[in-house]
Amino acid sequence: MHRHTRRDWWDRLFAIGIVAKGVDGVLELVGGILLLFVSPAQIHRVAAALTQHELSEDPNDFIATHILHSTIGLSSGTVVFAAIYLLLHGAVKVVLVVALLRKRMWAYPWMIGVLVAFIAYQCYRIALSPSVGLILLSIFDALIVVLTWHEYRRQRARIGAVEPGTVERRATRPGSNRPSETG
């Protein structure tokens, strides 16, 4: 697998952003798995335990009261939906991040498309119920889209620079008639 050295701040920012997306994906997978094994009552008890100290100091603490109130009306169906959502969301991110780190050309447009879809859904959620966290996540996702697009263009130019004026040629894998992915 060909690796080129990081050339500038665009490369470093892309790598940092993609790794952050990968970590986020792994955390979503872990969260989704955990949600499969807990009941709504257990979630509420954990939220109460986590916010108890803060609420004893300030009973009107915005974040603590919001966390506690958001766990009161949870149903089993909501928890299962959240688990499935997190598992799918996390798996897609992890697969795409691994492919991007391996410079698989197909992954760049897929990452852009997936993130644009996530941003659209997040904007819908923001319109229904504004949230600073969701707004920040949408801005971060938009930044990753820009960085991924920039890196995709660079990778395509790098591939084209290998053999200027010719169609991209791919080496075949030993023992196979299938071309290997460049990069």
Task: Identify the pLDDT of residue 153.
Answer: 93
Residue pLDDT tens, the chain, 183 long:
445 555 788 888 998 999 999 999 999 999 999 999 988 888 889 988 988 888 888 888 888 888 888 888 788 888 898 899 899 999 999 999 999 999 999 999 999 999 999 999 999 999 998 888 889 989 999 999 999 999 999 989 888 776 555 444 455 555 555 555 554
Domains in the chain: boundaries: 9-162
pTM here is 0.69
Task: Identify the pLDDT of residue 1.
Answer: 44
Task: Identify the pLDDT of residue 180.
Answer: 53
3 state SS for the chain: CCCCCCCCHHHHHHHHHHHHHHHHHHHHHHHHHHHHCCCHHHHHHHHHHHHHHHHHHCCCCHHHHHHHHHHHCCCHHHHHHHHHHHHHHHHHHHHHHHHHHCCCCCHHHHHHHHHHHHHHHHHHHHHHCCCHHHHHHHHHHHHHHHHHHHHHHHHHHHHHHHCCCCCCCCCECCCCCCECCCC
